[in-house]
Chains A and B, each alone.
Chain A
Amino acid sequence: MAYCVHCGVKLGESENQCPLCHTPALDPHAPPDPAAPRAYPVRTPEQELKRSKKLLLFLCILLFLVPSALCLIIDWLTGGGLSWSIYPCGALVMFFICTIVPIYLPRHKGYAFLAISFITLSAYLLMVEWISQSGRWFFPIVFPSLLLAFIIIALMTLFYRLGRLNKLTVLAAFFAAVGMECMAVELFCRLAASLPLTFQWAIFVAAPCIFLSLSLFYINSNRAIREELVRRLHY
């Protein structure tokens, strides 16, 4: 029989913390028994989201089916066949996958989601290349750029989950990633066009990005500056 040291209320036998202030129940002579039956059944997390997920699924299907059908019909009626409607429909499929899949994936399956998004995005762009007959640009340029971008995102996720990144360093890493990605894209473009491998436009994007990134990393490592910034900029 413990009392909350904070509130002064007597705690029921099955309470291992004060329900009012969440202070752990402290009674050195009678530690709370975790197996003791609860006074009231405790919430089970599986039950709670089932309904709202169903509604969401319904809404997403509606959002997906109605515009797709409209596009197909308009395309068919105006052109007598299917031409441009493939693009919006493909985009909708992608949107559908990117919104629905994360809801149904169990928590902490971020990498699976990244992989799925990567595959669908690649498939969509490949399809665009194939249908539009606009030359070969997917494999030489888009695919490696996209792959690099996803690898960077995956790495950042990993570091964030490992607790190596805070708000400031996430921002720093983001700028560094943008800079690197730009440089990579220019390289891939030049490779595809058989041009000499130098940087022209990418350097103008990358330089400020990398400068920003480095300053952020520096601020992060310097406690005095960090505190000064927090003091001046807190809101």
Chain B
Amino acid sequence: MAKGKRWYRLDNAAKLYPAVATSRWSSIFRLSAELTEDIRPDLLQKAVDKVMPRFPAFKVRMRKGFFWYYLEEIKEPLQVVPDSGHPCMPFRYHENHGYLIRVFYYRKRISAEFFHSLTDGSGGLTFIKTLTAEYLRLCGHQVSFDQGALDIREKPTPEETRDAFMHMPLPKVRIPRKEGRAYHFPATPAIPHTLYTIAASIPADQIVEKAREYGATVTEYLVSIILYTAFLDQEKRRPGRKKPLRVSVPVNMRSFYPSATLRNFSSFINPCIDPRLGDYSFKEIIREVHAFMRYHLNPRLLCGAIATNVADEKNPVCRAAPLFIKNLIIGTVFRRSGERGFTSTLSNLGKAHVPTGGEKWIRRFEMQLGSPSLPLCNCAAVTTGNELRLLFSSNILETTLPREMLRFLVEEGIPVEVESNMEGS
């Protein structure tokens, strides 16, 4: 470590990502703000220069210690660049001063990509809100730093950069987390470094209304549609050897343990149905998903799952192993389990409130998950105002999941508008 540079330990969730990252794949996600006017790169650069000091935990590069990776402060400024057709490309530790965050502009959209070791969706949303607010202020608009945007005139607090996992009550138990393989949609992998994006705009009031008719939340409703789509697909294509269907749903732990941390503080729950036990109707699926979520979204079970991870990290044998051995073990475990256990991932950030004064200039926020490590299609949702923006990211040629899911919504009477980054024929 160079003298005078701050450094941070990786938090518990962040430790996984550098260990499993390769030049082909690493865990990345992107948050974007779409404005009503074209972005001015010079002003965006100014905004980034002013906002970055407020987020010291993002101004870091990945460094190798003997036992663990750590994050080291970067002094050089972060450059904004025009967006490319390759969203969420793996970060290379030696490029761009080692920044694990990128800021792009494309037409009316400001995007920021984060390596998952830095933060989770909630921290990313805070960053993009703050950056957008500052950019709009530089454009001469009256926008305040509220509704989740941080005031850049204030100093960063230690609370924002701390590892919140270490400050929650963790039980001293280990919960077995064995989960078998799940059904994957049959898929043809695309060329490496390709990420197909399909964005769907859905009126939030209508989808909330529809979900309520089933007695469920929007997340439960969307998860149920994924499961139902996968169920029908498996019935049609693999009726012989069925597998369970499971969707991974990230959970923001801040809603259970209020914390101002901008680093990782989320966990997962994995609603699942098993068609080997019999057929399901959509109503049955949504009832099961609803019950599953009600049961699993409680602080005790979530803490138990985190406690298991922390216990692994704190295991004296594991701690004493040199980094490369840890990487080897974590990599093997990840490849053997990892995304094999999930049919898809649905990350719903919920409502993103627009900073006061920005309503006129900000059309929407959106989140995109990076390339899955296996041939899969994942989705992320953000609601801004009365629009739920659902972004599908896939590294496969087939569009089965988004197609069937959005057709289902249309059949339910909910209008859907789609955009994509796919080339026309």
List chain A positions with a Cβ less than 8 A from chain B. Answer: 4, 7-12, 14-22, 24, 32, 34, 37-44, 47-49, 51-52, 55
Which residues on the B side are within 8 Å of A52 (C-beta)? 24, 192
- Rounded to whole angstroms, the CA-CA distance of A12 and B420 in the bound complex is 8
Contact A22 B425 (CB under 8 A): yes
- Rounded to whole angstroms, the CA-CA distance of A18 and B200 in the bound complex is 12
Which residues on the B side are within 8 Å of A15 (C-beta)? 418-420, 424
Contact B417 A10 (CB under 8 A): yes
Residue of A nearest to B200 (CB): A9
Given A10-B418, A49-B191, A42 and B85 contact (CB-CB distance below 8 Å):
yes
Residue of A nearest to B23 (CB): A51
Which residues on the B side are within 8 Å of A9 (C-beta)? 200, 406-407, 410, 416-418
- Rounded to whole angstroms, the CA-CA distance of A60 and B410 in the bound complex is 52
Contact A10 B416 (CB under 8 A): yes
> Residue B106 at the A interface, CB < 8 A?
yes
Which residues on the A side are within 8 Å of B421 (C-beta)? 38-43
- Rounded to whole angstroms, the CA-CA distance of A195 and B23 in the bound complex is 62
Instruction: Identify 12 residue pairs between A and B in the complex whose beta-carbon atoms are under 8 Å apart, listed by A's number.
Output: A8-B410, A9-B407, A12-B418, A19-B399, A39-B420, A39-B421, A40-B85, A42-B421, A43-B86, A44-B84, A47-B193, A51-B193
Interface residues of B in 16-30 (CB under 8 A from A): 23-24
Contact A20 B84 (CB under 8 A): no
Among B106, B107, B403, the one with the most A-chain Cβ atoms within 10 Å of its Cβ is: B403
Residue of A nearest to B411 (CB): A8
Given A17-B425, A48-B191, A12 and B84 contact (CB-CB distance below 8 Å):
no
> Secondary structure at chain B's binding surface: helix, strand, loop or mixed?
loop
Give the interface size class of chain B.
35 or more
Contact A48 B86 (CB under 8 A): yes
Which residues on the B side are within 8 Å of A12 (C-beta)? 199, 417-420
**Closest-CB distance, A140 to chain B (whole angstroms):** 48
- Our pick among A7, A17, A44 for the contact of B407 (Cβ within 8 Å) is A7
Given A40-B197, A48-B193, A48-B194, A19 and B419 contact (CB-CB distance below 8 Å):
yes
Q: Per-position contact with A for B291-333: 1 when CB-CB < 8 Å, else 0?
A: 0000000000000000000000000000000000000000000
Which residues on the A side are within 8 Å of B415 (C-beta)? 10
Given A16-B424, A47-B86, A48-B86, A39 and B416 contact (CB-CB distance below 8 Å):
no
- Rounded to whole angstroms, the CA-CA distance of A82 and B406 in the bound complex is 70
Which residues on the A side are within 8 Å of B410 (C-beta)? 7-9
> Residue B422 at the A interface, CB < 8 A?
yes
- Rounded to whole angstroms, the CA-CA distance of A119 and B83 in the bound complex is 45
Contact A41 B198 (CB under 8 A): no
- Rounded to whole angstroms, the CA-CA distance of A209 and B411 in the bound complex is 59
> Residue B372 at the A interface, CB < 8 A?
no
> Residue B423 at the A interface, CB < 8 A?
yes
Given A19-B419, A40-B106, A44-B84, A8 and B407 contact (CB-CB distance below 8 Å):
yes
- Rounded to whole angstroms, the CA-CA distance of A11 and B410 in the bound complex is 13
Contact B403 A20 (CB under 8 A): yes
Residue of A nearest to B191 (CB): A48
List chain B positions with a Cβ less than 8 A from chain A. Answer: 23-24, 83-87, 106-107, 191-194, 197-200, 399, 402-403, 406-407, 410-411, 415-425
Known contacts A9-B410, A16-B424, A48-B194; can you find 15 more A-B pairs with CB under 8 A?
A7-B406, A8-B407, A12-B420, A20-B402, A20-B407, A21-B399, A38-B421, A40-B87, A40-B421, A41-B84, A42-B422, A43-B86, A44-B86, A48-B86, A51-B193
Which residues on the A side are within 8 Å of B402 (C-beta)? 19-20
Residue of B nearest to A32 (CB): B424
Contact A41 B106 (CB under 8 A): yes
Residue of A nearest to B38 (CB): A37
**Closest-CB distance, B400 to chain A (whole angstroms):** 9
Contact B403 A47 (CB under 8 A): no
Which residues on the A side are within 8 Å of B107 (C-beta)? 37
- Our pick among B194, B200, B403, B416 for the contact of A43 (Cβ within 8 Å) is B194
**Closest-CB distance, A129 to chain B (whole angstroms):** 44
Contact B419 A42 (CB under 8 A): no
Contact A14 B403 (CB under 8 A): no
- Rounded to whole angstroms, the CA-CA distance of A7 and B420 in the bound complex is 15
Given A7-B406, A8-B410, A19 and B422 contact (CB-CB distance below 8 Å):
yes
Given A7-B410, A41-B85, A21 and B424 contact (CB-CB distance below 8 Å):
no
Which residues on the A side are within 8 Å of B198 (C-beta)? 19-20
**Closest-CB distance, B37 to chain A (whole angstroms):** 14
**Closest-CB distance, A6 to chain B (whole angstroms):** 9
Residue of B nearest to A17 (CB): B424
Contact A11 B418 (CB under 8 A): yes
**Closest-CB distance, A12 to chain B (whole angstroms):** 4
Which residues on the A side are within 8 Å of B407 (C-beta)? 7-9, 20
- Rounded to whole angstroms, the CA-CA distance of A37 and B421 in the bound complex is 11
- Rounded to whole angstroms, the CA-CA distance of A185 and B192 in the bound complex is 45
Contact A20 B191 (CB under 8 A): no
